[in-house]
Amino acid sequence: MMTKASSLTQTWRRLLGACCLALCAVGAWPAQADERFITVASTTSTEQSGLFAHLLPVFEQASGIKVRVVALGTGQALDLARRGDADVVFVHDKAAEEKFVAEGFGVQRFEVMYNDFVLIGPRNDPAQVAGHDILEGLRRIASADISPRPPFVSRGDRSGTHMAELRYWKAAGVDLDQAKGAWYRDTGSGMGPALNTAAAMNAYILADRGTWLNFRNRGDLRILVEGDTRLFNQYGVMLVNPAKHPHVKKDDGQKFIDWLLSPVGQQTITAYKINGEQLFFPNARR
Amino acid sequence: MSTWLQLERLRFAPGERRILDDVSLALAAGRTVILGPNGAGKSTLLRLIHGLLRPHGGWLSWRRPLSQAMVFQKPVLLRTTALGNVIYGLKLKQPDAAKCRRRAEAALDRAGLLHLAAHPARLLSGGEQQRVALARAWALEPELLILDEPTASLDPASTREVERIIKDIADSGARILMTTHNLGQARRLAEEIVFIDDGQMIERTAVADFFKAPQSAAAKHFLKEEIP
Amino acid sequence: MTELDSGFTLARQLLLAGDARLWNIVLLSLRVSLTATVLACLIGMPLGALLAVGRFPGRRVLVVLFNAMMGLPPVVVGLLVYLLLSRAGPLGAFGLLFTPTAMILAQMVLITPIVAALTRQVIADAWQEMHELLHSLGASRLRAAATLLWDTRFSLSTAALAGFGRAIAEVGAVMIVGGNIDGVTRVMTTTIALETSKGDLPLALTLGLILIVLVLAINGVIFAVRGWSERRWG
């Protein structure tokens, strides 16, 4: 009986120890440790529009290389790559991308495809921006003389979309620093969260078409301005410079880039449609 | 029996309070019971002797160092079996696990608890728990066993059993130093009574003399107030 | 409330259909957070016990520090761990960024102070009750800390649960160090954040419900075991 008593405590301890060990083992065991993969820093628009879910399986099937996508704003994605935490960057802000390459962090920039931005706003369009001129549309939002003033939601996160928005304001001759008021809502968030905010406030917002088409919680919003050539949104892809970061998987990364630019890759991009609508238009110059 | 511990002007006064004031006392008997009203400083005195507290003044001078064990008013038991509790005390001093177990079982047996060895200690009755605590102390084979009101919260039957064990421990050669509020118990267990009141040492008297004719007015008053 | 209703319905459908992707996400969440909890307990519990029992300079400062660190924002922890694991950081060479290991590490950093602070409280109470006995038996403070850890094991399950609850519910840290990579580091909370971003509120809500049920179930099991053990051992 006494033997049983003390061995009970012992059993307890052993059991606990075994649980700990097992859990540690499970935790330390990396997912598919020997998997061949590259890490791609990209934007929320490519991820959330569903393009990658369509594109990557085709590439992975063909190459045997898994692509791990970290989706951030363009600015963050480039910073991540600067620190060497990605092998390939796939973003949409030409000026920032060229700077990235000029600084030596990227090997070479290739244009892959474009989609377009759309100006979205309340169905009843209180500022009367609907049409095909993005600059005129923004001017009307900035100068709307109605009460309550219809709000405009900005990403405010240094993303490609945010940078494009800032360029449009400038081109429209609106000095944001001066014109900014309670109507201009700087949300500092990704495309999706910004759209959620806009839907909740019934606000105007600049969005990429892909994310918008894939977005479910639209509320009372609709596309008001589209088709302006200035709204075209170019995507570029770059291999992170192995000279800066020796661990970069340059061969597999380059394979991914080559595939994106290849006829097969370009056709796969064309084939991605939501409700019959093509989202991205390949334009690689090879 | 000759003096085995001499207390010299022992003072314990944490902060503003004064709990023991210049207590000087020679302990010589094999079984000494400290009596005194609540708040007299009895428990503090035991803790100073056992080394759980440090005096603020004065000193203890041991004739020779004695190995000690202490049993508290409320038995403090670990969440393991009765046997596990006794073994725990031994294990800290005796690295041989098999030896520990044998001694622990023997101690439980002497405390009449061998049949409950595998029982979770915290689920035993109050009396049984105190007997486990006594067995734990006994297993250490101390030369001095200190007990702080060991039967304060026990029923008469348990109290009798605890007293029996204390006697047995004394008979096995350990010195006993204890406090109690049970005057009958003091009569039954003590050879000598130390009476303290309000932090002061009042008198030290052989047990028969103390109950017949205490030397101090305070002790007389105390005996009159207490239920025998 | 129609969204809630449809959430429940969708949750049932997804789970019953054995949606493999969903199950992988749930399993990864559990794996990451449970491992982080075990590691946090292995570090935080002895630490908390030493803070309760030990007497060393700076102990009070550490106690205040750990209590304050219970409120660390996950994003800050995520950022710190990211900077640590980034290729440009001190541990960059291990290539741990964007792996479950990185997420485990971040959650461990996040919840170790919680486990330590709660453990300290439990052990401090037990120490109050037992310090005289342990001194009397000649236990060193280290030994006393170990004894009390074992003796309060049932109460300490609450500390572990608190840590686990925080780990599995946080999104900021795992998002940054895991990258929310589909099939690799996508856990329940980052999926919820993603689906919310996509405006798919019903799916996000559904995943939220599954998360809540999961946490409830684990709490229930631990409390049942604890209750049983306490009745067993007093």
Q: Residue C17's pLDDT is what?
A: 67
Per-window interface: A 13-42 vs C, CB < 8 A: 19-20, 23-24, 26-28, 30-32, 39
CB atoms within 10 A of CB A169: 23
pLDDT tens digit string along B121-138?
A: 999 999 999 999 999 999
Is C197 close to A191, i.e. CB distance below 8 A? yes
The gap from C-alpha B142 to its chain's centroid, in whole angstroms, comes to 12
The domains of chain A are located at: 37-115+234-282, 116-231
Rounded-to-integer distance, Cα A119 and Cα A140, Å: 12
Check CB contact of A16 with chain B, cutoff 8 Å: no
- Which of A12, A15, A23 to mutate: most C Cβ within 10 Å? A23
Smallest Cβ–Cβ distance between C151 and the set B79, B92, B123 belongs to B79
| CATH 3.40.190.10, applies to A116-231 | yes
Which pLDDT value is given to residue A3?
Answer: 42
Closest Cα of chain B to A8: distance in Å? 9
Q: From its phi and psi, is residue B195 left (phi > 0), alpha (psi between -120 and 50) or beta?
A: beta
Q: Is B145 exposed, middle or buried (0-12, 13-18, 19+ CB in 10 A)?
A: buried
Predicted confidence band of residue A104 (pLDDT cuts 50, 70, 90): very high
Chain B's closest residue to A1, CA to CA, is: B118
Q: How far apart are the first and last CA of chain B?
A: 28
- pLDDT, residue B48, reads 97
Q: State pLDDT tens for residues A180-226.
A: 889 999 999 889 999 999 999 999 999 999 889 989 899 999 999 99
Query: CA-nearest residue of chain A to C100?
Result: A30
Is there a contact between A197 and A93 (Cβ–Cβ < 8 Å)? no
Contact with chain B for residue A33, Cβ under 8 A = no
How high is the ipTM of this complex?
0.92
Instruction: Indicate the Cα dihedral angle C114, C118, C120, C126, nearest 10°.
Output: -160
- Write the pLDDT tens digit of every residue in A42-99: 998 888 888 999 999 999 999 999 999 999 989 999 999 999 999 999 999 999 999 9
Report the C-alpha gap between A282 and A260 in whole angstroms. Answer: 9
pLDDT of res. A49: 87
β-pair type (A281-282, A106-122): antiparallel
Say yes or no to pLDDT of A28 above 90. Answer: no
Q: Is B80 on the interface with C (CB under 8 A)?
A: yes
Q: Which residues make beta-bridge pairs with A120?
A: A205, A223
pLDDT for the residue A6? 45
A215 touches chain C (CB under 8 A): yes
Check B83 against A9: CB less than 8 A apart: no
Is the domain defined by C2-226 classed in CATH 1.10.3720.10? yes
Site of tokens 């290849």: A262
Mean pLDDT of A120-140: 95
pLDDT of C13: 73
If you average pLDDT over residues A136-149, what whole number do you get?
Answer: 92
Q: Considering Cα of A165, then A168, then A172, then A176, what sign does the dihedral take?
A: positive
| Tokens 């002061």 belong to residue | B200
For residue C99, which of A176, A216, A32 has the smallest C-alpha distance? A32
What integer pLDDT is reported at residue A23 of this predicted model? 55
Give the number of other CB atoms < 10 A from CB of residue A26. 15
Q: Mark yes or no for CB contact A5/B81 under 8 Å.
A: yes
Q: At what angle do helices A94-102 and A74-82 cross, to 10 degrees?
A: 10
Give me the pLDDT at residue C3, please: 66
pLDDT of residue B134: 97
CATH architecture classification, A37-115+234-282: 3-Layer(aba) Sandwich (3.40)
Let me know if domain B1-65+181-228 sits in CATH 3.40.50.300. yes
| Residues above pLDDT 70, as percent of chain B | 99
With b meaning 16 or more CB within 10 Å and e meaning fewer, what string describes A206-217?
bbbbbbbbbbeb
Between B and C, how many residue pairs show a Cβ–Cβ distance under 8 A? 43
- Looking at residue A269, what is its pLDDT? 96
CA distance A4 to B82: 12
Q: Is C101 on the interface with A (CB under 8 A)?
A: yes
Q: Tell me whether domains A37-115+234-282 and A116-231 share a fold.
A: yes
pLDDT of residue C198: 86
How close B106 comes to chain A (CA, Å)? Answer: 12
Give me C24's structure tokens.
């992988």
Q: Per-residue DSSP letters for B177-209?
A: EEE-S-HHHHHHH-SEEEEEETTEEEEEEEHHH
Query: pLDDT tens digits for chain B (228 residues)?
Result: 589 999 999 999 998 889 999 999 999 989 999 999 998 999 999 999 999 999 999 999 999 999 999 999 999 999 999 999 999 999 988 888 999 999 999 999 999 999 999 999 999 999 999 999 999 999 999 999 999 999 998 999 999 999 999 999 999 999 999 999 999 999 999 999 999 999 999 999 999 999 999 999 999 999 988 765
Name the nearest CA neighbour of A228 among A150, A127, A138. A138
The B residues from 81 to 100 touching C (CB cutoff 8 Å) are 88-89, 92-93
pLDDT digit string (tens) for chain C, length 234 residues = 566 677 677 777 766 666 788 889 999 999 999 999 999 999 999 999 999 999 899 999 999 999 999 989 999 999 999 999 999 999 998 999 999 999 999 999 999 999 999 999 999 999 999 999 999 999 999 999 999 999 999 999 999 999 999 999 999 999 999 999 988 999 999 999 998 888 888 888 888 999 999 999 999 999 999 999 888 888
Rounded Cα gap, residues C19 and C17, in angstroms? 5
**Angle of CA points B5, B55, C51, to nearest 5°:** 120
Give the residue on A whose Cα is nearest the Cα of B104. Answer: A2
At B141-153, the pLDDT tens digits run: 999 999 999 999 8
Give how far C32 is from chain A: nearest CA, Å: 6
Work out the percent of chain A whose per-residue pLDDT is above 90: 74
Task: Name every chain C residue with its beta carbon within 8 A of the beta carbon of A71.
Answer: 180
pLDDT for residue A147: 85
On whether the CB atoms of residues A99 and A200 are closer than 8 A, the answer is no
Subunit contact A48:C97, Cβ cutoff 8 A: no
How many whole angstroms separate alpha carbon B106 and alpha carbon B100?
10
Q: Does C234 touch chain B (CB under 8 A)?
A: yes
For residues B194 and B26, what is the distance between their CA atoms, to the nearest angstrom?
Answer: 10
> Which residues are paired to A106 by β-bridges?
A240
Q: What is the pLDDT of residue A4?
A: 41
* Phi-psi label, residue A222: left if phi above 0, alpha if psi -120 to 50, beta otherwise: beta
Mean pLDDT in chain A? 89
* Pairwise CB contact (< 8 Å): C136 & B92: no
Tell me whether strands A88-91 and A37-43 are parallel, antiparallel or unpaired: parallel
Spell out the domain ranges in chain C.
2-226
Three-state SS for C12? helix
Residue range A229-246: mean pLDDT, rounded: 95
B126 touches chain C (CB under 8 A): no
Q: What is the mean pLDDT of residues A147-162?
A: 92
A:46-105 residues touching chain B, CB 8 A cutoff? none
Domain boundaries, chain B: 1-65+181-228
Q: What is the pTM of this model?
A: 0.86
Q: Which chains form contacts with chain B, at 3 or more CB pairs under 8 Å?
A: A, C
DSSP-derived 3-state class of residue B72: coil
- Assign residue A207 a region: left if phi > 0, alpha if psi is -120 to 50, beta otherwise? beta
C99 and A30 within 8 Å at the Cβ level: the answer is yes
| CB of A137 closer than 8 Å to CB of A165 | no
CB contact under 8 A, C179 and A68: yes
